[in-house]
Amino acid sequence: MIDVEDLVSLVRNYNPNTDADFIRRAYAFGMEMHDGQFRRSGEPYFTHPVAVAAILTEQRLDDASIVTALLHDTVEDTRASYKQVEELFGHDVAELVDGVTKLTNLQLSSSETKQAENFRKLFIAMSKDMRVILVKLADRLHNMRTIKAMRAEKQIQKARETMDIFAPLAGRMGMQWMREELEDLSFRVINPDARNSIMRRFVTLQRETGDVVHKITNDIRSELDNASIRASVYGRAKKPYSIWRKMEEKKISFSRLCDIYGFRIIVENEQDCYKVLGLVHQRWKTVPGRFKDYISQPKSNGYRSIHTTISGRDSRRVEIQIRTQEMHDVAESGVAAHWSYRDGERSQNPFAVAPAKWLSDITERFKNADDHGEFLEHVKLEMYTDKVFTFTPKGEVISLPRGATPLDFAYAIHTRIGNSCVGAKVDGMRVPLWTRLRNGQSVIIINAEGQKPQSSWLGLVATGKAKAAIRKSLREEDRERFMRLGRELVRVAFDHIDKKATDKALETAAKQLSLGSADDLLSRVGSADLNASDVLHALYPELMRNRDEIEPQRAIISPDKKQKHKRAECCQPVPGERIVGITYEGQGVIAHAIDCSVLSAFADEGHRWVDLHWHAGPHAAEYVVSLDVTIANDAGILGRICTLIGEHNANISDLTFPERKEDFYRVMIDVELRDREHLHAVMLALEADSNVARIKRHRESARAPQDGV
């Protein structure tokens, strides 16, 4: 364990003006509080907080962060209290310790709903003081370094949580070295055989080719010396997990893998970055499509560097990064560079992003998320994606996640532009809206008055901002219709228990269900996000507990052809979906999906509504659903699509072509299915096919059937 004077020395190396007594007092207090506690490895527990503090000294953090690291487990695991820490070490440290304690208690790898809520709490803690997450990341890093002492199942749990959450978060904050180490430590636990295999191949490769890193480093230094450019050159083989991920993504073997070595050239100023780039490109052949200039177009976390890939010794591809020392400091520390000290002063790094700006940028996309799933989607989109840089016709740069489409581009400019988008041109050529954008492309958005977002757009966009804007527009458009439908469903449910669905009753139910208003409640009931029975249970729990016999008798949609029930052609409901019936003179009852647009026409005719449900037990594959599929116009693709549907035990009853283009065409496929799960399985399989650009369920905006027809 590092003793207190050694720890103080580590801090003094970058901050000669450190308050050494402050650190000594925290060290002594932490040791006293953790006295008698031991880690699973058998070491005294206090070795862990000291190690976390030492990790933070590598990032040259301030005294408060170091002291927080020493005390971060005292409030949770010892008799120490928040008030005691505040009295001894001040309000700032007490708040940081409290923040780290709360993060430690978050179960980020739990169920999706709870995970989303806990992510909200994590970002709230970060917004109060970013140093909380810096201490937590250092805490997780040391725990991963010493994870072998834990039970096997606990190791797997922690490794997966680290790989899914903490490693991407470190990367999003610009702390790439920490991301790589966390990923590799997790990889060692999750897939040790794969990691060992890569390590063995590295040994074999080095034995066959010699020390490639040393040779290429000398080659680069020689060129720099000849050009009289002062620079430092560092080379290394990439981490095993990085190599494994690339092998998995590209589906190639280790022997076919390129650019497994990376080199950094640290120069004195920005002008030298471009001089070195020219020198490298003159000396070695470049690899097309592998050049990125993050100096002229920095990442949102402040990262600046030039990346290029060349064909070096023995035609082996290597990646070269060129940057200044200040850029390198930000590349190593990311957002943490804001707190870094140098020679006793907070370093004024011009490239370090202020935490407030970074948090504002990362949380802007989350604020419109109305539910847990949507919020979690935003978090993962923000944390797990790389960037592409595209251009407006005026030359302005629009930064988007990899996989973004012209629709994402449109929404990045302005929500109004996105909502009215009808087409796009990329580099002067008209392209479908699902086209994936690439670095350096110029995009022109074509707009039209009266255009509104369509539900199918949700499958075409990759950014949280676009998804949120589309969903908001769809909700607003459907809200009135859903409210009318919800009011009728609630009225019928209340009538069955001899109660009135008054405005006051609905407001009370909304409050009980944690909804903003009665209108929100009605809208959710109408959109099938909430059952009318849930409203009754919220208001009359005791009554409902003993009133099963009062529940309305529901008619059943069954295979019995004698029953006067049939599926609506407009929405084509299938077993497993919520349905409601409307009576028609001469036709009996027609079952509509709960979200069918036709139902709004009957909002004022409650006497015609019938509560329906599907019969229990297995269903035959006899329910026709129309699928609207857009596929590439190439030989054999349609046949493969039909074969894929057949492999899922689904029969095609009809097939038409509503639209044909040179490069793609739309095909309407009527498929006979068993139930909702069967439908989902078929659509998922089609969506996964690389030749399917888009798939959606076709539902007509048809008028309601007429009585007597």
CA 317 to chain centre: 31
Q: What are phi and psi of 456, to 5 degrees?
A: -65, -20
Strand partners of residue 590: 566, 582
CB neighbours of residue 682 within 10 Å: 22
Q: Specify the pairing of strand 565-567 against strand 555-557.
A: unpaired
76 is catalytic: yes
Q: Give the end-to-end CA distance of the chain in Å, rounded to a whole number.
A: 86
Residue 238 contacts residue 184 (beta carbons within 8 Å):
no
Q: The tokens 């494994």 sit on which residue? A: 244
Residue 280 contacts residue 319 (beta carbons within 8 Å):
no
77 is catalytic: yes
Q: What are phi and psi of 87, to 5 degrees?
A: -65, -40
Pick the catalytic residue from 43, 58, 76, 507. Answer: 76
Q: Residue 698 and residue 572: Cα distance in Å, rounded?
A: 9
Q: Residue 284 and residue 404: Cα distance in Å, rounded?
A: 32
Q: Residue 263 and residue 213: Cα distance in Å, rounded?
A: 8
Q: Report the amino acid identity of residue 95.
A: E
Contacts for 290-293: CB closer than 8 Å, 24+ residues apart = 290/259, 290/319, 292/439
CA distances from 214 to 80, 239, 260, 304, 416 (A): 52, 17, 14, 26, 55
Question: Which are the contacts of 49, defined by CB distance < 8 A and separation ≥ 6?
Answer: 30, 34, 69, 70, 71, 72, 73
Pick the catalytic residue from 19, 43, 58, 77. Answer: 77
Q: Residue 412 and residue 223: Cα distance in Å, rounded?
A: 43
Type and span of the H or E element at 275:
helix 270-283
Type and span of the H or E element at 166:
none
Q: Residue 512 and residue 521: Cα distance in Å, rounded?
A: 11
CB-based burial label for 266 (10 Å; 0-12, 13-18, 19+):
buried
DSSP 8-state symbol, 582: E
Q: Residue 159 and residue 145: Cα distance in Å, rounded?
A: 11
Residue 107 contacts residue 121 (beta carbons within 8 Å):
no
Longest dimension (CA), the chain: 94
CB-based burial label for 408 (10 Å; 0-12, 13-18, 19+):
buried
Residue 103 contacts residue 125 (beta carbons within 8 Å):
yes
3-state secondary structure labels for all residues of 505-566 = HHHHHHHHCCCCCHHHHHHHHHCCCCCHHHHHHHHCHHHHHCCHHHCCCCEEECCCCCCCEE
Q: Residue 36 and residue 378: Cα distance in Å, rounded?
A: 44
CA 316 to chain centre: 34
Q: What are phi and psi of 26, to 5 degrees?
A: -65, -40
Strand partners of residue 324: 267
Q: Residue 219 and residue 274: Cα distance in Å, rounded?
A: 18
Catalytic residue list: 76-77
